[in-house]
Structure 1
Amino acid sequence: MIKRLLALAAGSLLSLNAFAGYIQYDLSGPVSGHIVQHESDQSIAYFWIDQLVTGTPYPFIQSLTPVQQGEGATVIRATTTYFRNDGPTNFSISSDFGADQTTWLDIAFSRGAQGSFSYTANHANSIYLCGDNGCGFESFSGTLSGSASRGVVDPQLASYLDFVGGYYDGIAPAVPTYVNPGPAPAPVPEPGSLALLALGALGLAGMRRKTAN
């Protein structure tokens, strides 16, 4: 019995270690799916993205997962981050996988005052569509926004990532470059605070006059 408990504990510990090495962010909105990052350096290990293509005559979702094959590729071209430690990594994806689409997708994340994350995504798609006027490639582009939140990494995916060296097939290891998002705007004083500042300035002016006399 004790040996079985020790074996279960060891298995759980190994699973926990694999799970602890990665962090997942789930995307909601017109760009949905998830990205899995290394906790140590925020490099992207895996992604599955469903992007709403805006402007199409009927709802169209472009699915993007890492792949490099003879029929094309879907790869991450660049990564940056606005967060020193905890936060989703900004990334650019290009895809020409298959013969019917070409996609560019750039996603940047920001953190709200309450700690929640949101994203802004710029997309450009060329898609082979058929309509009343026949078939052909049509171009679409736009800006999409939504939210992102911490998710739960699938233990089987974490184990597979460990097995293949930490990065899914088609993803090259790339530590994101830190980009300073810029200083936060100075808070605007409330009316009550402005009144207090004015009273303080008047008090200082009065004290200077008395000192001068």
Structure 2
Amino acid sequence: MVVCAAVAGAALAVALRVPPAAAALAGAALGAAAVGLELAVALGRVPASAARVRPPDGGKLLDTSAIIDGRIADVVTTGYLEGPLLVPRFVLRELQRLADGADPLRRNRGKRGFEILKRLQDLRSVEIVEADVAGVSDVDAKLVELARQRGAHVVTTDYNLNRVAELSGVSVLNVNDLANALKPVVLPGESLRVQVLREGKEPG
């Protein structure tokens, strides 16, 4: 169990583009957590049944930002994301509007979204949810209400959607939060190697 947790943690860190040292640290942390849980069960402080209980999962509803961001496909590759992947029809329509737009940047974002969805479908089944939310026009509001109705998690990288969902009592999986949690921990006195990828535009 410890080895599996360590390997899974390291794989997830790599998928989120975390440096190798941080990936190893994440794996070690998960391994330590697994040891702690096993010890607590052995000592009778945590019932064995409680160690296996997971909250009901109505699926993972992907929003536009998480799809375009693309890292969700890497997380799925690690096997860390369980439950069905759900994409509402209204999210597909939003991607289509972006892909058909006149602005080149928005058009590229829309096209990238469809490429990521195709990759997700190749990795794992993606269910297109036809259900809509009557009387609601805003895509984010629709997503939150649909997640609440289905008991699903919202997967996003959008900070504002994250806040609205939490205030509405909807569980959120923010890919940015996951990436931040796996950043390397630097202690005083440690040395770092920094690679400059390109020169900045600002003086100094």
Same fold, TM-score > 0.5, yes or no: no
TM-score (norm. length: structure 1): 0.21
TM-score (norm. length: structure 2): 0.21
Point out the structure with the larger strand share. 1
Q: Whose Rg is larger?
A: 1
